[in-house]
Structure formats: structure tokens, C-alpha cells
Amino acid sequence: MPKLNWLFCVLACAGVWSISLPATGQAFLPYTPELNAEQLEQQGLQLAEEAIQLVRFQQYELALPRAKLATQLAPDRYEAWFILGSLYIQQEELDEGIKVLKTALTLAPEEAGIKFTLGNAYFQKGDYAAAATELEEGLAMKPDVPAALFDLGNAYLKLAKYSEAIESYEKAVAQDKSFWPAMNNIGLIEYEQGNVDEALERWQAAVAIDNEQAEPKLAVAIALFSQGKQEEGTKLGEEALLHDGRYADVEFLRENLWGERLLADAKAFFATPKMQAVIAKLQTQPAEAQTQPQPAETQEQKPPQ
């Protein structure tokens, strides 16, 4: 899942989109030389609220110093630490984020959102066992969060626990019928296990959920091409890459959890003259144009979320 959507999800899950501020007549007394602890905490929570509003507008660089100050003014409130830790993870400062999130967890051990965020951080660090543990514990507290179920499925996939991964993805789809990434990743597992028809069924279901997504469409194209349906596969593959040129990069596909069998078939697919021409065309475009909607006469789809 995109980072922005992930950050929205965990903050919403932890219930910190709107922080309850103490009710007082004013934040500061104009002629009092020192602020008391309650007033400091209120100011800290107000800063945390400002940080959340900045997150809504993707103003992470502005949100981070407010969140840092919030933890100093309201050190006993988990919300401030949770927001700061989440921002560190968003900025890929993983070690600092994990440290801060553990502080939040000591203040609110029952908050599933903190566990989910820790799981995401450990996954990014490549510690998939720790990621699975944090996500499992969070889901034991709050079992109906599709994004967390999806993250757990990804951790299981990296641990080669394929049955558990599929089960977790299916739970995500059961919670949110429009959650195509989980359906897509079931297809990735099925393909690696040699179940091509089952994989195609999953990817086609993902496309049916959201026809504007490049990844499942490209996977369908490669599978069809590998089955000898070259014209159909090539046409669909061209649509997918015009949709989002990043998917022409094998390393990008690997980062998106494509397995070795599918990657090998992708390389063969990309090596065909027709797809080479498409890729060459993409390479002449500015990078930002490769993830923008194409003109109506050449492309109907929009970029992925």
C-alpha cells in the first residue's frame, strides 16, 4: 500500500485523527511567569493536532517538528509519541521510528495501531518475523483492519508461509471487498506454486475490482502470453505499462513481491519486439508522466493509487 494511505490508516485506526484537548479557559495566563503541567500538556496536544492536519496535506516536513515538540510538552500522552513515530516511519527513519513507537506502546499497550505501525517498520527493515509478531498481536486486539491483514499477509509471504499469507489476504478482502491489492497478491502466490489458472482468476478479479490498476493487468498479460495467447497478452501489457511505466522495471516488480517464476516470465515478455518498443517509448517520457493518465485516445485508465 502507498505510504500516504498507510499513514492515514494507522492514525485513523489508533483514533488520533482528533485529539481530545482539556477544556480550559485559555492556553496561557498572560501575567503568569510559568506554565503548569496541565497547560503544557494542552499545548503539546494542540501541536499534535496541528501535525495531524499537516499529514492530511502531506506536509510531513512541517508536521515532524510539531510532533517532536508535542512529545516534550505532553510526554505522558501516547498520541504525541505515536504521531512522531509514524512520521519517522513515513520518512524511512526506521530505527528512530521504532524507538519512539516503543515509547508510545509503554504508555498505551492496548493500542493496536501502534502494533500495526511497528509491524510495518519491521517489514521495511526486512525483519519479517518481527513484523508478523507485531501485526498478529495488533490484530488480536483489533481484527478488522484490512491494511494490517494485508501487511501480515506480506510478512507471511516473505517468510514463505504461503497458506497463512493467503488466509490473511482473504480476510482483508472479506473486510473490504474493494481491496484489490490483497486479491492481487494471492495471485502472486498461486503463480509461484504453478497454479496459473487460479492466479489468473485472482488477477482478473483484482482488475474487475479496479480496472485502473496497472499491476494486476500486467500480471494477467504476462500469464496469457506465457500460455501462448501472445496477441491478447501483448495488448493488455501495453495498456498496463502505458498506465504506469514503473512496472517495466523488474526490480520494481521484485519490490512489489513478484516471485521468481513470474519475474522470469516478465523478462521474457519484456524482451519481445513489441514490448521493447513500448518500453523505449516510455523511456523517452519524463518520469512523472509515466504515472499520469494517458490521453483519452491512447489510454482510458488512470494511474494506480
pLDDT at 12 over 90: no
Instruction: Return the pLDDT at 163.
Output: 98
Domain check: are 227 and 128 in the same one? no
Q: Report the distance separating Cα 23 and Cα 46, nearest Å.
A: 12
Domain check: are 231 and 101 in the same one? no
Domain check: are 186 and 50 in the same one? no
Residue with cell 495498456: 239
164 versus 21: the higher-pLDDT residue is 164
pLDDT bucket at 286, cuts 50 / 70 / 90 = low
With respect to residue 193, please indicate whether it lies within any of the assigned structural domains.
yes
With respect to residue 209, please indicate whether it lies within any of the assigned structural domains.
yes
20 versus 238: the higher-pLDDT residue is 238
Is residue 208 within 8 Å of residue 216, measured between CB atoms? no
Q: Report the distance separating Cα 218 and Cα 22, nearest Å.
A: 52
Domain check: are 159 and 52 in the same one? yes
Given CA atoms 287, 61, 251, 117 in this order, what sign does their dihedral have? negative
Distance between first and last Cα of the chain: 8
Residue with cell 493467503: 166
Instruction: Please give the grid coordinates belonging to residue 136.
Output: 498478529
Instruction: Return the pLDDT at 28.
Output: 37
114 versus 14: the higher-pLDDT residue is 114
Domain check: are 61 and 159 in the same one? yes
With respect to residue 26, please indicate whether it lies within any of the assigned structural domains.
no
What SS3 class is residue 1? coil
Give the least confident one: 37-46, 57-66, 161-170, 202-211. 37-46
Domain check: are 98 and 201 in the same one? no
Domain check: are 237 and 298 in the same one? yes
78 φψ region: left (φ > 0), alpha (ψ -120 to 50), beta (else): alpha
Domain check: are 63 and 74 in the same one? yes
Domain check: are 230 and 273 in the same one? yes
Q: Would you call 186 exposed, middle or buried from its count of C-beta atoms within 10 A (0-12, 13-18, 19+)? A: buried
pLDDT tens readout for residues 159-212: 999 999 999 999 999 999 999 999 999 999 999 999 999 999 999 999 999 999
With respect to residue 30, please indicate whether it lies within any of the assigned structural domains.
no
Q: Give percent of the chain above pLDDT 90.
A: 69
What are the CA-CA distances from residue 54 to residues 4, 23, 71, 116 (Å)? Answer: 12, 23, 17, 22
What SS3 class is residue 42? helix
Give the residue numbers spanning the domain of 131: 1-19+39-176
Query: How many domains would you assign to the chain?
Result: 2
With respect to residue 33, please indicate whether it lies within any of the assigned structural domains.
no
With respect to residue 71, please indicate whether it lies within any of the assigned structural domains.
yes
Instruction: Return the pLDDT at 284.
Output: 84
Which CATH number covers residue 197?
1.25.40.10
CA 264-267-269 angle, to 5 degrees, is: 110
Instruction: Return the pLDDT at 301.
Output: 33
Domain check: are 64 and 141 in the same one? yes
136 versus 292: the higher-pLDDT residue is 136
> What is the identity of the amino acid at 243?
H
Domain check: are 157 and 186 in the same one? no
96 versus 22: the higher-pLDDT residue is 96
Domain check: are 208 and 97 in the same one? no
pTM flag (> 0.75): yes
